Copies of this chain bind each other. A is one copy, B any other.
């Protein structure tokens, strides 16, 4: 695409032109989490919030001019229709944290049930531009499922490496979507290392997060949706519903609203980097007027980035991860540097929550917002609840909690989260009366 103008290295500042070949490392310093730089000035001249707002396409391709890849064809299924997940406002969550308006962005409703679909759709389209027919990925599970699905929808093959202990639901999805699946005896970090080696030695295009520059370009679309949906909600709240029922819809707005805070679960750091890039793009384009504060939430059992944050350091020390939130379990986060800077630049903070707080948050989120999240996805909500107890959140604020994956991905964890066992009865009225009394 004409608007993709350079790879940019945040470690040394070097710019590299977008040659038509895969690039994963900065030629200057070797840093391996490059940014994709778009010609935002050119985009600003041709695209407005009103132009996008008038589109009936709810997928992430409604933001096509802000993406560095071409759009898929209409008949490419989930690859074409990824995105457009709901943003629920939750009065019960607001009450629980003392009044601030809470909005739950449910990316568990994406085609394969996790936010990784956004990244994988954009990576698959980049792979097509590079003439690649097979994509390699290491994953805790969700990213692998997403690239298996998106590669398949795009007519490509995928080779996926996941830890052998990945939840059965994710393994079933990988098999069904036709990936060449390799279960690795070891951790996510072992699978990650091996996939990078394989990428180099076998010449395979690698999707890994914190390595492939294009994952962030897909993930940033969740921030676009948050701002556009927040603006639509505010417009509906201002209008007279009885009148709205029969009149023509209002013209799309010319500016979007940004939330005050966004809570994001953090494992290797790539999602929060994507979320930040989305808001930064909108700010640079003049679509929004300020940057939200980003709050990264890690599990205490896998808190390498939060550890560095507390020490005020950009040097991240390896940990030995041990958390039930498998999707954010990373010994050595692959996108740690950018994740630290994204939160710092936004005026946010890193928080740490325990596995038991994560389990409680699965239940609380289901009760407060009717959203069933996997452990890693409920981690962000655990962070918000923890934060609200520690430091008051002003009631005037709009707070977004990003739910990155559906709880159907890990039913065993949900079953643990619900302390009570269900009641079993004989099929008789007397048994039913007794159970209900």
A86 contacts chain B at the CB level, 8 A cutoff = yes
Which residues from chain B contact A149 at a C-beta distance below 8 Å? 370
Closest-by-CB residue of B relative to A164 is B424
Mark contacts of A369-395 with chain B using CB atoms, 8 A cut-off: 1 yes-contact digit, 0 otherwise. 111100000000000000000000000
Selected from B113, B181, B248, B418, the residue in CB contact (under 8 A) with A175 is B418
- In the complex, are the beta carbons of A424 and B183 less than 8 A apart? yes
Selected from B81, B86, B168, B408, the residue in CB contact (under 8 A) with A415 is B168
Q: A176-B372, A372-B176 are in contact. Are A423 and B181 (CB under 8 A)?
A: yes
- In the complex, are the beta carbons of B233 and A193 less than 8 A apart? no
Selected from B90, B113, B408, B420, the residue in CB contact (under 8 A) with A77 is B90
A432 contacts chain B at the CB level, 8 A cutoff = yes
- In the complex, are the beta carbons of B425 and A152 less than 8 A apart? no
- In the complex, are the beta carbons of A249 and B423 less than 8 A apart? no
Which residues from chain B contact A249 at a C-beta distance below 8 Å? 54-56
Closest-by-CB residue of B relative to A150 is B370
A426 contacts chain B at the CB level, 8 A cutoff = yes
Closest-by-CB residue of B relative to A185 is B426
Measured in the bound complex, the distance between the Cα atoms of B88 and A111 in whole Å is: 11
What is the interface of chain A, defined by CB distance below 8 A to chain B?
A: 46, 51, 53-56, 58, 64-65, 74-75, 77-79, 81, 84, 86, 88-91, 104, 106, 109, 111-113, 149, 152-153, 159, 161, 164, 168-169, 171-178, 180-186, 190-191, 193-194, 197-198, 201-202, 232-233, 236-237, 245-246, 248-249, 362-363, 366-367, 369-372, 406-409, 411, 414-415, 417-418, 420, 422-429, 432, 435-436
Of all A-B residue pairs in the complex, the 7 with the closest CB atoms, nearest first, are A408-B408, A176-B366, A190-B427, A77-B88, A175-B418, A183-B424, A172-B414
